[in-house]
């Protein structure tokens, strides 16, 4: 895949959107762009943007770890999700150069969470039917309130 100026402009727009939200990760599919692109920044001062173009994840072992997750697509909800603890990531950077990482902790969780978006999956899909149903009802109630005339 060629990384051109159009893609780099998209990356800049995605980073701006993510920082404004504020969030620590954003997948292109969350802004209705159907490309396999992710931006992330786990730093406290928004100084370490990470770009993942065409990311691929390989799970390295069966160990999992629970993490509290939230999402810009499901605002205000946080739930514990079990994910693989050790992964290998292959992706292209902003210039189109391939690179590999073996991220841990929050970075590993965030990468898996964002790749899930690219694959049409949300963190709530990992929850029990009961918890998903509860969140859905709360979101519907929230939307009804927003739709009411002021």
Residue 143 belongs to a domain = no
What are the phi and psi torsion angles at 124 (to 5°)?
-65, -20
Please name the residue that has the structure tokens 């390989």.
58
Residue 129 belongs to a domain = no
- Domains: count for the chain: 1
The pLDDT score that the predictor gives to residue 150 is 62
Residue 133 belongs to a domain = no
CATH code at 44? 3.90.45.10
Is residue 44 part of the annotated active site? The answer reads: no
Expressed as residue numbers, the domain containing 61 is 5-65+83-122
Residue 138 belongs to a domain = no
Residue 135 belongs to a domain = no
Active-site annotation holder among 48, 69, 114, 140: 114
Q: What is the pLDDT along the chain (150 residues), one digit of tens a residue?
A: 689 999 999 999 999 999 999 999 999 999 999 999 999 999 999 999 999 999 999 999 899 989 999 888 888 888 899 999 999 999 999 999 999 999 988 899 999 999 999 999 988 888 888 888 888 888 888 878 877 776
What are the phi and psi torsion angles at 3 (to 5°)?
-100, 110
- CA distances from residue 87 to 49, 61, 62, 92, 105 in whole angstroms, order as listed: 20, 8, 10, 17, 10
pTM here is 0.87
Cα 147 to Cα 103: distance, rounded to the nearest angstrom: 42
Residue 109 belongs to a domain = yes
């Amino acid at each position: 895949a060629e990384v051109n100026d159009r893609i780099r402009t998209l990356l800049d727009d995605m980073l701006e959107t993510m920082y404004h939200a504020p969030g620590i990760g954003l997948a292109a599919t969350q802004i209705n762009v159907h490309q396999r692109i992710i931006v992330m920044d786990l730093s406290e001062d928004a100084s370490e943007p990470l770009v993942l173009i065409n990311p691929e994840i390989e799970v390295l072992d069966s160990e999992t770890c629970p993490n509290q997750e939230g999402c810009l697509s499901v605002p205000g909800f946080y739930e514990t999700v079990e994910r693989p603890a050790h992964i290998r990531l292959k992706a292209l950077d902003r210039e189109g150069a391939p690179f590999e990482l073996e991220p841990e902790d929050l970075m590993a969780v965030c990468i898996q969470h964002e790749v899930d978006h690219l694959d049409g999956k949300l963190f709530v899909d990992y929850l029990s039917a009961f918890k998903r149903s509860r969140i859905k009802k709360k979101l519907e109630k929230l939307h009804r309130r927003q739709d009411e005339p002021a």
